[in-house]
Amino acid sequence: MAEWFMKTTIGNLVDDAARQFATREALYFNGRRWTFGQFQKDVERAAKGLIELGVAPGEKVSLWMPNCPEWLHIFYAVAQIGAVLVPINTRLRTADLQYVLQQSDTATLIIKDHSGPVDYLAMVGEVCPEILRQDPQALSCESFPELQRVVVLGDNQCRGTWNWDQVLSGPARVPQKMLEERRSAVDPDDTVLLMYTSGTTGFPKGVLHNHNILGITTDSINRMGMTPNDVVLMYLPLFHAFGLYEGALMCWQAAARMVLTETFDAGEALRLIEHERVTMLHGFDTHFYDLTSHPNCEGTDRSSLRTGLFASGMASSVPVARRAQELLCPTITGWGMTEVGVGVSMSFLDTQVEDRCAGSGYPLPGYEFKVIDPETGESLPAGTMGELCTRGYAIMQGYYKKPLETAETVDPEGWLHTGDVATIREDGCMRFFGRYKDILKVGGENVDPIEVEVFLIAHPAVEKVQVVGVPDTRLSEVPCACVVLEHGWQLSQDDLDQFCRGKLASFKIPRHLLLLADYPMTSSGKVQKFRLREMAL
């Protein structure tokens, strides 16, 4: 059967944009500017450098660095040569890093040496001490048998690592024909992304996607009326699916200009909105709360803003969404998750205000939704609350090396069971209310409580631990550790924080500690987490 949408590869976006808009500005970062033509040359140079380094088709390339132009160069270069990018959350620390590198079978790791006080190179050296003494051309790591090379962007380096500038010196030895052959061999159905998201098993799961996710971003561009005249402020982390799709992909598909920042700072974001005449900005409720609450907000010229994607829809975020309409611009609401191809439902530019603040939009073309009773699997009538299921052309290829978890999530008819609580109106508008699963949403980051519990149980003072979410004005919710102590031990919030700091990502660290004699239990012996949440409140 013929495909109903035109398939292409992510690597082609750069050439397509440069062919039409070579002299138009594509990217702004820290006072530097790139045209689409200049950006294309940088991507080509990076692609040839990775080929010279030995990166093979299908190989996993992990990228652990904050937002910067090189992140984008490497992303597109990896796609062009048929490798698989593994974006790593920069807020992860050694325990998380070790798991991701091992589980993903990473062959090439590319990192920034440091960012502010965070020393990424030191953390890599801690989990892979071989980089401190081995030859980079013959790297062999006991803990990571697949890892062949570590590349560092920055002035600091170890004996067993390559410097990014060294990699970029190799393209002269790679003929253009070799790059073209690698590019032409890439099929849109090939895997291009392996993105880690928290699941219910206690450990992150790697979500596999192919190039067909471009169908989703194409429809998102159309629904938001995005054109080459748009200027997108991108403070969302590129390693996150939200930033990767709305930034790295959509900006080059629409040939819009990206204003990129390394991190989110509300004051700097407001300055850039005025200075760069930003037309679009995206974020979670945390971002919009900080922007609208900043003392410079009302004094900033915000007249250039026309729309943005407000990714929430939970009841707790409605007041923030309403304030964003008043002080920033009319936003579009949406829903998505890494497994489904990120944002697969969106409202429209002319959707009524209440639905843009409290709803979660309508499915994009090629996707369908239903709400089921999670116990029976039966479809529920319109307006009834149940578990949201969705299916479409860019549902994940599966969880990497986790066939059982994949089968538990995607049923034989192709429906992906999200674990989210939702309702669907008769007109097809969906509203997201929360999660059947215990996943926490901390400032837009997924946190699996089981993963945190597994880590905390190693503390000598902890006999038992359960992690629940409690509301937070800025971050929507934060983890609370409900701990039963070992006999004779004491534990404070500071003790818990010091135990986690540098080992867990900061957003996973419990912000609250509740000490209990025991847990409320069901008659069958299960912990009543809903009672724990009430007690934590």
Question: What type of residue is 360?
Answer: S
Tokens at residue 26, please? 């594509």
Give the C-alpha separation, 19 to 36, whole Å. 9
pTM for this model (two decimals): 0.90
Decide: helix, strand or coil at residue 249. helix
The b/e string for 231-248 (b: 16+ C-beta within 10 A; e otherwise) is: bbbbbbbbbbbbbbbbbb
Tokens at residue 259, please? 């204003």
CB 110 within 8 A of CB 62: yes
pLDDT for 315 equals 66
Tokens at residue 71, please? 């992140």
Place of tokens 């013929």: 2
Q: How far apart are the first and last CA of the chain?
A: 54
pLDDT for 316 equals 66
Give the C-alpha separation, 536 to 285, whole Å. 23
Give the C-alpha separation, 124 to 117, whole Å. 15
Give 160-173 pLDDT, tens digit per residue.
999 999 999 988 88
Give the C-alpha separation, 317 to 288, whole Å. 10
Give the C-alpha separation, 443 to 433, whole Å. 16
Task: Give 136's DSSP letter.
Answer: G
pLDDT-flagged residues of the chain (< 50) = 1, 199-201, 524
Query: Cα separations (Å) of 131 from 71, 145, 173?
Result: 22, 13, 26
To the nearest 5 percent, what fractions of the chain are helix, strand and coil?
35, 25, 40
pLDDT for 507 equals 94
- Who contacts 86 (Cβ-Cβ below 8 Å, separation ≥6)? 60, 61, 62, 63, 100, 104, 106, 194, 195, 196, 206
pLDDT for 313 equals 60
Place of tokens 């012996």: 525
Give the C-alpha separation, 82 to 296, whole Å. 45
pLDDT for 450 equals 80
- Who contacts 289 (Cβ-Cβ below 8 Å, separation ≥6)? 320, 473, 474
Rounded to 5 degrees, φ, ψ at 383 are: 85, -5
Decide: helix, strand or coil at residue 253. helix
Give the C-alpha separation, 204 to 99, whole Å. 8
